[in-house]
Structure 1
Amino acid sequence: MSSRPSLCLLALPLLAGCQFLPHTNYFIAPVNEPNPAWVRIVNYTQHAGIYQDEKGVRTGGVIRSGPLPFINTQDMGMPKAGQDLTFDYYETRVRPDVETEVSMMWEGPRTLSCFITITFTPKAGRYYQFMLNKGSGDFCTSDASLIECDKNGTTWHLTPNPEVTYKSNGSTAEKRFSNARFEDPDYHPDPNLYPGTAL
């Protein structure tokens, strides 16, 4: 048997297995939206996602640009509202008047993490900011803000956004271990199975 058919036979199981690999959906900003709303996500962008639901069709996904969870800073020129934003924030257009979900996650050591999911309906031409804070104790917190201009039209500032809802326990989430064995501080896993967790 020649080498080409042998290679094809070897590759067949690998290609057939692709259907069982994890699939990641990515958020794609609307390109031709004439009057979009604007969203900024601050902190932990490698795990954040934006989803929009219109007429029963859900679109969107994670805001990173590839399968590896790298921080994806993207500046689209949104007003900074006095903030010193230089790293780990993501700005994008979204379709207005469509139910929108912003999902944020903090991931710490030893499989510890927390999730906060916020839903709202953006309005055309408005600016929205969502920030996740890892917190210092057993909880992480989030801020949902409007970015608004003052009456003089010269200075931008953040104001709390009262028109958001939270999928779980509000703007605070408990940090949890995805693997319960790590709750025991004396548990030391095989570093080949959990690289970087031997703390």
Structure 2
Amino acid sequence: MTTRLRFCLVLLPMFAGCKYLPHTDYFVAPANEPNPAWIRVVNFTQHAAIYQTENGVKTGGVVRTGPLPFTHTQDIGMPKAGQDLTWDYYESTIRPGLETTVYMTWEGSRTRTCFVTTQFTPEAGRYYQFLLTSGSSGKCTLSPTLIERDKEGTGWHLVRNENVTYKNAGPTAETFYTNSQFENPDYQPPPELYPGTDVR
């Protein structure tokens, strides 16, 4: 085999195989939406995703689009409804009238995780919030709420959003291990097999 042929065989995957490189889809807020709905996801935003479906086409993806993976908060001025929100939440506009999926995941040590997926159809001008609790107790729970004005019109409060459905059993999910070997507390893999993961 000639050197030139070897060189071409090495370059071929670089030009023809881009589809095999890692790819992440991100949620992008709608541009020029005249009357959007608003959404906030609270906690574990590094694993949260939003998708919207129009005419059978699903778009969206993970919400953490900052230049650094440590960017935990995006605040666009949604009402806080008396909550002490200072870190790890994501706010955005979304298109109303479209089936919308919110996927949230908690990840603990030793590949332990749980997730909840919910669907709803947002209405224009309304504020939606999805908060996920920690799974450290063995379960995680998603709380879907609406953010509404007080009757006096001076403040905001949270109201449970009943107009959601769940892909699985409901708002609460049991934790599980993505690698069942970790169920054994004595299992200690080489750390280089799980870079960035707490395997203690």
TM-score by length of 2: 0.90
Hey, what does 2:109 align to over in structure 1?
Answer: 109
Is the CA contact 1:45–1:90 (under 8 Å) kept in the aligned structure 2? yes
Shift of 1:13: 3.4
| 2:193 maps to amino acid | L
Hey, what does 1:133 align to over in structure 2?
Answer: 133
Distance in 1 of aligned mates of 2:106 and 2:183: 17
Is the CA contact 1:65–1:72 (under 8 Å) kept in the aligned structure 2? no
| 2:22 maps to amino acid | P
Hey, what does 1:159 align to over in structure 2?
Answer: 159
Distance 1:19 1:67, change over 3 A: farther
Residues 133-181 of structure 1 deviation map (CA, whole Å, 9 limit, x = unaligned): 1144211111000000011110101111010111101110111111111
Which stretch shows the higher mean deviation, 105-114 or 135-144?
Answer: 135-144
How many residues align structurally?
A: 197
Hey, what does 1:54 align to over in structure 2?
Answer: 54
Hey, what does 2:45 align to over in structure 1?
Answer: 45
| 1:168 maps to amino acid | N
- How big is the alpha-carbon RMSD for the aligned residues of Structure 1 and Structure 2? 2.2
Is the CA contact 1:51–1:102 (under 8 Å) kept in the aligned structure 2? yes
Distance in 2 of aligned mates of 1:66 and 1:24: 13
Residues 92-148 of structure 1 deviation map (CA, whole Å, 9 limit, x = unaligned): 000001110000011111111111011000000000000011144211111000000
Hey, what does 2:32 align to over in structure 1?
Answer: 32
Distance in 2 of aligned mates of 1:66 and 1:176: 29
Is the CA contact 2:44–2:104 (under 8 Å) kept in the aligned structure 1? yes
Distance 1:115 1:67, change over 3 A: farther
Distance in 1 of aligned mates of 2:16 and 2:134: 41
Shift of 1:7: 6.8
Hey, what does 1:123 align to over in structure 2?
Answer: 123
The answer to whether residue 195 in structure 2 is matched with residue 197 in structure 1 is no
Distance 1:9 1:144, change over 3 A: same
Distance in 2 of aligned mates of 1:164 and 1:111: 29
The answer to whether residue 168 in structure 2 is matched with residue 168 in structure 1 is yes
Distance 1:16 1:69, change over 3 A: farther
Identity of paired residues, percent? 62
Hey, what does 1:90 align to over in structure 2?
Answer: 90
Is the CA contact 1:44–1:71 (under 8 Å) kept in the aligned structure 2? no
Q: Which runs of 5+ in 1 are unaligned?
A: none
1:181 match: secondary structure: helix
Is the CA contact 2:113–2:176 (under 8 Å) kept in the aligned structure 1? yes
2:189 match: secondary structure: coil
